[in-house]
Amino acid sequence: MFRKLLLSSALALCAMPALARENYALLIGANEYRNLDERWWLNGPKNDVEMVRDYLLTEAPVPFAADHVTMLTDGVEGVEPATLEAIRAAFAELTAKAQPGDFIYLHFSGHGTQAPATDDPNELDGLDELFLPVDIGQWNDSVGHVENALVDDEIGAMVDALRAKGADVWVVFDSCHSGTATRAVDTGDDDVRLRQLDPSVLGMDAEAMEDVLSRSIEDPRAAEEPPVDVAAGGDGAFVAFYAAQTNEVTPEKKLPKGKPDRKPHGVFTYTLFETIAEHPGATYGQIAEEVLRKYAVKNLAKSTPLFEGDLDAVAFSGDAGAPVTQWQATAEGEGFTIPAGELHGISEGDILAVMASAADETDAALGYVKVAKTDTFTTTAVPVEHEGKALPAELPKGLMLRKLDDAVDFTLTVALPPAGSAPADALLEELAVLQEVVGPRLVFVEPGAEADLRLAVIPDSPRPDAIWVLPSTGLAEDLASTPSVSSGDKSAEDLALTLGDTLSMMARALNLMKLGAAVGDGGGLDVEVEMLTRNAENPALTPLPFSPVPVLLPADEVHVLAKNNSDQPVDVNVLYVGADYSITHWAAERVLPGDELKRGLFAIGGDKLGQERMIVVVTPAKQHTPVENLSFLAQDALDMTREVGGEERPDDSIGGLLAEAGFGETTRGAVPLSGGGEDTGPVPVILQMEVRTRPAE
């Protein structure tokens, strides 16, 4: 149920595991593929495994000894490259050491691809998924495999061997195997690369690959087949996280956003460990749900990460714990340092409260500090006067620095298209009009600069005269679902007006999803919410899982079940953010203590299909008050290929507190979600669930 997926729900404090247990890690990063042209090399896997190693040795909720963490990657002094032989040897050594109850973390960062499978009934699509070590060779027709490739079946067998020893295994793959994407806009520093190698680069016959795919049989609603085959049995537990499904691509880019010294990382690896650092006592399922949410609201990638295994267990086989929002401070000259940084959600300029004790209320803060410098794992802060309070000269020992209430940044940066084409030049002429339409929340930056969205002209696209709105990577994947505004049928002013309206609608949908993980944990609001579905073939209502992301077809029904286990009434609103950036309001109901709400909401339509998200807002209510109704959040679908400009639109701003929180014209970029102070009782909670919709045929 949704409530179980809340990362901010109250959990017991983290405890250390039994001393008899050992924790091991094998971190594999493949960067420089010496047998391939340099344009196919990657930049980020080395950085991925170094970051993961540092996290495991300093931040992990269970202890990892330095000699229990093995790293295979190129470009690091004293570390062996990730060749096939080295990977096999490392697995053999790990298997020999593993004992019942041990925990083993495995990480693969590098290229993936697919190849025709040997006679394997487990490969429903007829293809093997491959992870590519750095000494990868070419396809060999005589033996039917790629030289030095690590086939999914072999990876599965190596994982099974560890589990047979009684060890619990968590494996993470930041690579992709199929799919296509085009680099449609240059970001200026070639920081975006795909971790997928086209089979043709390895000498495989494209027609033969297509023939295999054409003979595969797929149930449109069936759960995506995991890229790696792992046996269902085994004494040890098993969890696997995959950056993308087998028909998708996953990128690497420079992260974290806004840092001048940022490094290339796999988007999936960085997002995953950012989530783990913020929520070290969360379950695998809670982590997975938050990764999906971050992908949706940050425009990180169009891929859908896949998760399997015992997702209800706590990550690293540790113990449940609350999110870490404060850290032990060490005096450093005139300031303080703490063992937390960008990966924990801390940014330069943040204000932290100085606490004498970890148990004190925030109102009892001795004073405040401002973050002067932060990197991945470390922050330096200096005293600052805040809210009329200055830090005293004499301070007790054992100080804690605590994050204040999280603020949601509702600004959206948009990179302009390079000048030199007729559509771009027309838009740039009317940039002042465009800025006036979108208001101060949307900030336009130079072409190639870091941005949340990128405007581009794509000459070889079906609409060469259009301005396309691309994600931050600048990758154009499915152009049919990518917003664009034509220029040939508009004046320059109408082009700016229409594009501004398009960006504003996209921002409203994205900002609504941003609120989903930011509005508190309900403050004791005990309500269970579940989404269910049925269709003509299966008329019984069945719960929708959060992983793998469920697939719904046109005419599939969606229902909601909300049980109020609290001692006060609550109002339940259900909204749906479509792939076309529409916001549809489906329900506003009051549920009394001990009662439940069960009702059908809608059936999937057939017009715009793709990545979509259900949002449930649960609000504490008082007796004899009107039901909280959020229907004013609704907006029409965005026409993905807008051609007629200059039309008048009604005011879509949502007003009130939500307008102040990012949908209105206020100039504040980051808006705090609560004012702190005394406990006011249960607070609203927003729950989200991602779905994929696709055609029936």
User: Which among 195-209, 374-388, 463-477 has the top mean pLDDT?
Assistant: 374-388
Task: Quickly state the pLDDT bin for 53 (edges 50, 70, 90).
Answer: very high
Give the model's pLDDT for residue 647. 38
Evaluate whether 286 touches 279 at the Cβ level (below 8 Å).
yes
For residue 367, what pLDDT is reported?
A: 94
CA separation for the pair 344, 342 (Å, rounded): 5
8 Å CB contact between 417 and 447: yes
**Which residue would you say has higher pLDDT here, 463 or 210?**
463
Q: What is the pLDDT of residues 645-679, one digit of tens each?
A: 433 333 333 334 444 443 444 433 444 434 333 34
pLDDT of residue 621: 87
- pLDDT on residue 665: 45
Model confidence at 116: pLDDT above 90: no
Most confidently modeled of 108-122, 148-162, 189-203? Answer: 148-162
- pLDDT score at 325: 81
pLDDT of 10 > 50? The answer is no
Euclidean distance between CA atoms 662 and 666, whole angstroms: 8
Between CA 72 and CA 30 the distance in angstroms is 8
pLDDT above 70 (res 1): no
Residues 6+ positions from 503 with CB-CB distance below 8 Å:
412, 414, 438, 442, 453, 469
Return d(Cα 511, Cα 412) in angstroms, integer.
9
Mean predicted confidence (pLDDT) in 187-212: 69
Q: Buried b / exposed e across 530-559, counting CB within 10 Å, b at 16+?
A: bbbbbbeeeeeeeebebbbbbbbbbebbbb
Highest mean pLDDT: which of 9-23, 195-209, 288-302, 647-661? 288-302
Backbone torsion region of residue 210, taken as left when φ is above 0, otherwise alpha when ψ lies between -120 and 50, otherwise beta: alpha
Pairwise pLDDT comparison (323 vs 354), residue with the higher score: 354
- Residue 90 CB partners (closer than 8 Å, separation 6+): 26, 28, 70, 72
pLDDT at residue 4 tops 90:
no
Is the CB of residue 529 less than 8 Å from the CB of residue 587? no
Write out the two tokens for 260.
Answer: 């001048």
Query: What separation in angstroms does the CA of 693 have from each of 506, 550, 551, 580?
Result: 19, 8, 6, 12
| pLDDT of 452 | 87
pLDDT at 226 over 60: yes
Highest mean pLDDT among 65-79, 210-224, 569-583, 600-614: 65-79
Token pair, residue 377, equals 């794992």
Pure H helices in 165-300: 206-214, 267-278, 284-298
pLDDT at 127 over 70: yes
- Is the predicted pLDDT of residue 338 greater than 90, yes or no? yes
Predicted pLDDT of residue 260 = 72
Please state whether the peptide bond connecting residue 682 to the residue before it is cis, i.e. omega within 30 degrees of 0: no
Q: What is the secondary structure of 166-209 as a DSSP string? A: T-EEEEEEE---S---EE-S--SS---EESB--GGGGT--HHHH
pTM for this entry:
0.80
pLDDT for residue 610: 75
Domains and CATH numbers, the chain: 24-317 (3.40.50.1460), 326-404 (2.40.30), 412-513 (3.40.50), 515-693 (no CATH)
Least confident range from 213-217, 248-252, 508-512: namely: 213-217
Structure tokens at 198: 């086209």
**pLDDT per position as a tens digit, 555-593:** 899 999 999 998 899 999 898 988 888 889 999 999 999
- Residue 625: pLDDT above 70? yes
Give the pLDDT confidence score for residue 667 in this predicted structure: 39
Q: What is the pLDDT of residues 71-103, one digit of tens each?
A: 999 989 999 999 999 999 999 999 999 999 999
CA distance 305 to 302: 10
Average pLDDT over residues 526-543: 92
The predicted pLDDT at position 19 comes to 45
DSSP H or E stretch at residue 52: helix 45-58
What mean pLDDT do residues 336-340 have?
A: 93
- DSSP-derived secondary structure letter, 196: B
Q: Please name the residues in contact with 97: beta carbons below 8 A apart, sequence gap of 6 or more.
A: 22, 24
Provide mean pLDDT across the span 241-251: 83
Q: Which residues contact 217 (CB under 8 A, 6 or more apart)?
A: 124
Task: Tell me the percentage of the chain whose pLDDT exceeds 70.
Answer: 79
Q: Is the pLDDT of residue 11 over 50?
A: no
Q: What share of the chain is helix, strand, coil (3-state, %, to 5)?
A: 20, 30, 50
Quick: pLDDT tens for 382-438: 999 998 899 998 898 889 999 886 666 778 899 999 999 999 999 999 999 999 999
pLDDT one-digit tens code per residue, 431-487: 999 999 998 889 999 998 888 899 999 998 889 999 999 888 888 777 877 899 999
And the tokens for 81? 């490259």
pLDDT at residue 13, rounded to an integer: 31
Burial level of 275, CB count in 10 A (0-12/13-18/19+)? buried
The pLDDT score that the predictor gives to residue 499 is 95
Q: Could you tell me how far CA 653 lies from the centroid of its own chain?
A: 27
- What average pLDDT does the segment 123-128 reach? 62
> What confidence score (pLDDT) does residue 524 get?
61
Q: How many CB atoms lie within 10 A of CB 631?
A: 13
| Pure H helices in 176-266 | 206-214
Contact 289, 546 (CB under 8 A): yes
What is the model's pLDDT at position 270? 94
